[in-house]
Amino acid sequence: MPDTNTPALIELVDIEKHFGPVIALNGVSVSVQPGECHCLLGDNGAGKSTFIKTMSGVHKPTRGKILIEGKEVNFDSPRDAMTAGIATVYQDLAMIPLMSVTRNFWMGREPQKRVGPFKFFDFAEANEVTMTEMAKMGIHLRSPDQAVGTLSGGERQTVAISRAVYFGAKVLILDEPTSALGVRQTSNVLATIDKVRKNGIGVVFITHNVRHAMAVGDRFTVLNRGKTLGTALKGDIKAEELQDLMAGGQELAELEGSLGGTI
């Protein structure tokens, strides 16, 4: 369970985001504690993507505030968010399939060794760290030279998660990490999420799959049409209730009544 005795790693308070006349977010509040997996659920068009882009510095909120460990911050770019320890793993993973796991793991942050006036990619250090960090997450590579494209979808997710953790993520935002995976791969990714939060990292797990959320979540916030419908603790809400909130169960019930029970 999350540590509630310390300030939230990140807290978003009454966040609004307007795109011209369109209100994508209309007063959303979410916090993430150390060691917590906070699940953000919502159907397509609920505002999940806009919210995580606001949290990760891609969008600046129109109104509201963002606090990191109790101190208000303003992110002008994703780099600002990364510097503050906010890392995002998007669905497309931003990996190059034909490149090795090591090259993908270190992309843009390659360790270097100096020989005279020249600098070279330190493959020995990079390979050793990559193999060690992947093994911590339960992935035992045949070789650090193995192409990322030969890994399963779940293993590629784990590479991206492991990379973010190694480079200092305090809050890890996972955008639908299980949406295109089979049962076994999903199980592996959920196990990876569990390992990550046990290290005190806060996880924001964005999903529309209630079963996956219930498997690892500590708290659950439902987004609907740019608003939060409330936050519930694990044990205080059932999967069926979450599903109803996501899918607009009350609206469906009202529609069913108006149509004479034909739905």
Reading the block at residue 18, the tokens are 């307007």
pLDDT of residue 4: 59
Sheet holding 10-19, edge to edge: 22-32, 10-19, 63-68, 71-73
- 148: which DSSP letter? G
CA angle 105, 96, 86 (to 5 degrees): 50
Domain residue ranges in the chain: 10-95+168-258
Contacts of 42 (CB under 8 A, 6+ apart): 48, 208, 222, 223, 224, 246
CA angle 11, 86, 18 (to 5 degrees): 60
CA dihedral 201, 206, 212, 216 (to 10 degrees): 20
Residue 101: phi and psi, rounded to 5, are -60, -45
CA–CA dist 10, 86 (Å, integer) = 9
pLDDT tens-digit profile, the chain (263 residues):
555 567 899 999 999 999 999 999 999 999 999 999 999 998 888 888 899 999 999 999 999 999 999 999 999 999 999 999 999 998 777 788 899 999 999 988 888 888 888 888 888 999 999 999 999 998 888 898 999 999 988 899 999 999 999 999 999 999 999 888 889 999 999 999 999 999 999 999 999 899 999 999 999 999 988 888 889 999 898 888 888 887 765 554 455 555 655 54
pLDDT of residue 34: 95
CA–CA dist 25, 16 (Å, integer) = 5
Burial of 26 (0-12, 13-18, 19+ CB in 10 A): middle
Domain 10-95+168-258 matching CATH 3.90.640.10: the answer reads: no
Q: CA Rg, the chain, in Å? A: 20
pLDDT of residue 1: 57
pLDDT of residue 5: 67
- Closest C-alpha among 152, 147, 144 to residue 126: 144
Beta bridge partners of 110: none
The helix, strand and coil proportions of the chain, stated in percent and rounded to the nearest 5, come to 35, 30, 40
